[in-house]
Structure 1
Amino acid sequence: MQSQPRFDAYQGPAHLQQQGAVKALYQALMQPQPRLSSDTLLQARDFLDEQLQHSSSLECELPEDPQNLMNWVRDGSVRTTDAYAQYLADRRQGEPRRYFHNRAHALYFLRHVAPTKMVDGAWLYGVLQQWQQPALRPLVRTYLEELGDGVPAQNHVVLYQLLLSSNDCDELGDIEDRFYHQGTLQLALGQLAADYLPEVLGYNLGYEQLPLHLLITCYELAELGIDPYYFQLHVTIDNSGTGHAQKAVQAVLANLPVVGDTQEFYRRVSRGYQLNDLGVSSTQVINEFNLDEQVVQMLERKANVAGMVHSDYCRIEGRTVNQWLSEPGQIPAFLAALQTRGWIRRDQAPENSRFWHLVQGTGAPMFGVFSGYEQQLLHDWIAGSQAPEPKRYRRHPQLATDPSLQEADTAESAALAKELNALPEPQKQARLIELMAPATHFTPAGLHATRQFQAYLR
């Protein structure tokens, strides 16, 4: 979806309006299937119903006649590729990056969209229960492809986990509640698909379109030395010719009722489609980044847990480091004092700043205190306009599959194989589907279950 969300925060029932409640629901829905409580599912239904009320009030861009959906999808794809061609032409003429000012900005984006990316495809989970229905096969097929057909190197969540960890930005504890909005929507749809199938069809139709921001993200991540493969994979599989965008249209048309209220069914599809416009979009995440603010917030979090562990022999502007860090709201003044005393030299190579040598390198006094992401924030903040351009990322063909993603014969997989062999066929199917849930499909057992489930679709 390319349009901007019109609701930045959940406005549902009172028990879900509390600070952190959406994130809490997200985490509850990410429990393995046997641990999901009826109370969690009731909360998910409340959340989803409230969001559908919001989406019903939005103007919908879908064609009035569902038979025109494929042409609509292809027209949208042409507009996107034309806009991307213009973007590339602008860049060739010397225009700067449109999205990411520096590497820290890109890593901020990767972290803040992670709650959505880590449940990629979750809205389709519920259709597995009806995998034998031909009309739902396009959705089942799409879900399995989101799971990489059980191959770790193609499983979308595994790939995103690797992307975060390889850039040392996989600690997400400080991510605010509102960034969990879309992920919670996807998890709720996946758990309640039996009652919300038209909405699932509509949401899937919107989510599987090729947006301009995806193409630009791929290009600019590579420029900043960050592997764009996760995003490139979505460019290829979401195409309108043979990919998920086409399957999304096929699924809508195949499930339109022959007998009954077709108009009402399609209205519900449209309402589900509009759910894509709720929450915080990718482009909003990008536009909200402010390097000064992120540095201050990061150091304030550090001060909260380590504000009194520094020695008192060093004084900055007459105050010890412990004194600076012990009082809330002092980080901006502390940073200013460090610059006044020459500990930080802005708009120069960070290596020229004494402070940088305290935090970076194996022999640094504060080695291990700052994650790779936090060091990147400090690096780009100090360097400013003098930040060197990273080397463009090039994926070597021989290294296209990370060795860590090779499937191993784990004890967990072996135990699952033994368990499945002892189950009658109906229970075996149920167990496989259980393990292919959003909370577990990326684990060794979930990947094994996905590969086993493939046999039913042949």
Structure 2
Amino acid sequence: MTSIECLSTVPAALHERPNRPNHEIYARLLTDDPEAGAIAQAFLQPHLAAAGDMADELPADPEQLLHWSRARCAAVAAQYASYLASRQAGEGRRYFRNTAHALYFLQHVGPTKAVDGAWLAGVLHHWQDVRFDHLQAIYLEELGEGVPRQNHVLIYRQLLAEHGCDDLSDLGDEYYLQGAIQLALGHGCDALLPEVIGYNLGYEQLPLHLLISAYELRELGIDPHYFRLHVTIDNASTGHARRAVKALQDLLPAGEQRAAFYRRMKSGYRLNDLGPGSTAVIQAFDLKREVLAMLERKAVFGRHMHSDYCRIENRTINQWLATPGQMEAFLDALIRKGWIKRGEDPTQSRFWRLIDGSPAVMFGVFSVYEKQLLHDWIADGWQDGNSRAGGARNPTGEDIGQVSDSETLTLHKTLQAQSPLEQMNTLIPWLAPQRHWRPAGLFATRRFMQLRKALR
């Protein structure tokens, strides 16, 4: 059965809107919608068709996959060594020109990182089948095995919140494609097992951009823990890259079905190449464009909030903000008036002093990320863009896994009245992408692992 044939039973009602936006699919698949499985299959159908026509570098013989994975990892290591040598020789950062650039990257890959591991959510139902052990081990490690500091989604959510990048509502729809694909695969595990295995194989290979991102984020004072964690666990020796190959070997059927299974697996692998990847996101950054877009969004809320005593080139601030498309001219006027001194320490600009710090007249108007955009645009290379706008929100430091919240207490009470097998059925929904990072989900992950070990 081909990838497309296995999706032929999608309900006709779901074809009424064949071009649903990615972000709508993404949101629906993060709920308990009873139609989620059918929605996922309908969504994946055209993407699997597109992936089927793409090329890949996978070996023709699945027995060569482990050698291929190790060779790929060695090549990435050599490229990273070359990168480090270039940096030691005095070359500048390859990815991020300034802090705003790095935060732009973190935000725009946010929809994907916020569902990290979701493509494997469906394998938990096979907890009694040892052939699924490698896939389950990968998923449980994505969930941090119930430890907050190691749960990938929770780490990334906290990273975005710390830097004021957690509002993803204005992102383009294309940035939700990979996250929607991951969620859809998680809902379609049984029907799409070869594709899930293939996607997992591609995603768990250690990429060069992960290593460089971790290095340059650290230079810019941004915690690279999320990226470093992936560097250590995605290795081809003992980590996820090796487990991904072993999972295919364990689940690859013999005989006539072997070739078809591997062909479908390769289609799943190619799904990783759809939509903008990390390097494409990095290359798309334009600081001035982002500053202007941000100010246009803010103008909608601020056009009636300013008094009329202050005029810039004979126009009040409210008048400048009243008409869409005026932000570039407004900034130019502020430069001419001397309120913005580009290429200098932003603290020397009157406009910056109006928005930065608790005594500032406009304190709280701009988020941490929005201020960083303005800071780095004003600095325009001053101190090589390494300085921070100041005031990254401090995380609480709370061990979320230990919070006795109502969800966790309710779940704990429910489990007490159940047999071990009943508990497993109760726990699995709490390990779903929309819940596993919550306190009750972290607790459920730990309990699931305890019972899984005891019952096998």
TM-score of the pair, normalised by structure 1? 0.92
Distance 2:154 2:426 in 1: 21
Q: Which amino acid aligns with 1:331?
A: M
Q: Shift in Å at residue 404 of structure 1?
A: 4.2
Within the alignment, does 1:451 sit opposite 2:453 as a pair?
no
Whether the aligned pair in 1 keeps the contact of 2:146 and 2:401 (CA below 8 Å) is no
Percent identity of equivalent pairs: 51
Within the alignment, does 1:363 sit opposite 2:354 as a pair?
no
Partner in structure 2 of residue 303 of structure 1:
299
1:15 aligned counterpart, secondary structure: coil
Partner in structure 1 of residue 246 of structure 2:
250
Distance 1:391 1:242 in 2: 38
Partner in structure 1 of residue 288 of structure 2:
292
1:379 aligned counterpart, secondary structure: helix
Partner in structure 2 of residue 199 of structure 1:
195
* Partner residue of 2:402 out of 407, 410, 417: 407
Q: Shift in Å at residue 193 of structure 1?
A: 0.4
How many residues were matched structurally?
434
Partner in structure 1 of residue 11 of structure 2:
none
CA spacing shift, 1:157–1:325, aligned 2, 3 Å: same
Whether the aligned pair in 1 keeps the contact of 2:401 and 2:442 (CA below 8 Å) is no
* Partner residue of 1:66 out of 62, 65, 73: 62
Q: Shift in Å at residue 350 of structure 1?
A: 0.6
CA RMSD of aligned residues (A): 1.8
Whether the aligned pair in 2 keeps the contact of 1:223 and 1:391 (CA below 8 Å) is no
For residues 428-447 of structure 1, what are the structure 2 equivalents within 5 Å? Answer: 428-447=423-442
CA spacing shift, 1:311–1:411, aligned 2, 3 Å: same
* Partner residue of 1:37 out of 26, 34, 38: 34
Whether the aligned pair in 2 keeps the contact of 1:152 and 1:407 (CA below 8 Å) is no
What CA deviation, in whole Å up to 9, does each residue of 1:57-113 have, x standing for no partner?
Answer: 001211000000000000000000000000000111111100000000000000000
Q: Shift in Å at residue 412 of structure 1?
A: 2.7
Distance 2:81 2:211 in 1: 10
Whether the aligned pair in 1 keeps the contact of 2:62 and 2:262 (CA below 8 Å) is yes
Partner in structure 1 of residue 28 of structure 2:
28
Partner in structure 2 of residue 79 of structure 1:
75
For residues 161-172 of structure 1, what are the structure 2 equivalents within 5 Å? Answer: 161-172=157-168
Distance 1:68 1:226 in 2: 39
Partner in structure 2 of residue 8 of structure 1:
none
Distance 1:44 1:114 in 2: 20
Whether the aligned pair in 1 keeps the contact of 2:111 and 2:179 (CA below 8 Å) is yes
TM-score of the pair, normalised by structure 2? 0.92
Whether the aligned pair in 2 keeps the contact of 1:151 and 1:407 (CA below 8 Å) is no
Distance 1:98 1:388 in 2: 13
For residues 149-188 of structure 1, what are the structure 2 equivalents within 5 Å? Answer: 149-188=145-184
Partner in structure 2 of residue 15 of structure 1:
17
What CA deviation, in whole Å up to 9, does each residue of 1:305-324 have, x standing for no partner?
Answer: 22121111111111111111
CA spacing shift, 1:404–1:318, aligned 2, 3 Å: farther
1:285 aligned counterpart, secondary structure: helix
Q: Shift in Å at residue 24 of structure 1?
A: 1.1
Q: Shift in Å at residue 280 of structure 1?
A: 1.0
Q: Shift in Å at residue 390 of structure 1?
A: 4.0
1:271 aligned counterpart, secondary structure: helix
More moved, 404-413 vs 139-148: 404-413
Whether the aligned pair in 1 keeps the contact of 2:95 and 2:213 (CA below 8 Å) is yes
Q: Which amino acid aligns with 1:88?
A: L
Q: Shift in Å at residue 253 of structure 1?
A: 0.7
Q: Which amino acid aligns with 1:196?
A: L
- Structure 2 runs not aligned, ≥5 long: 1-13, 389-395
- Structure 1 runs not aligned, ≥5 long: 1-11, 393-400
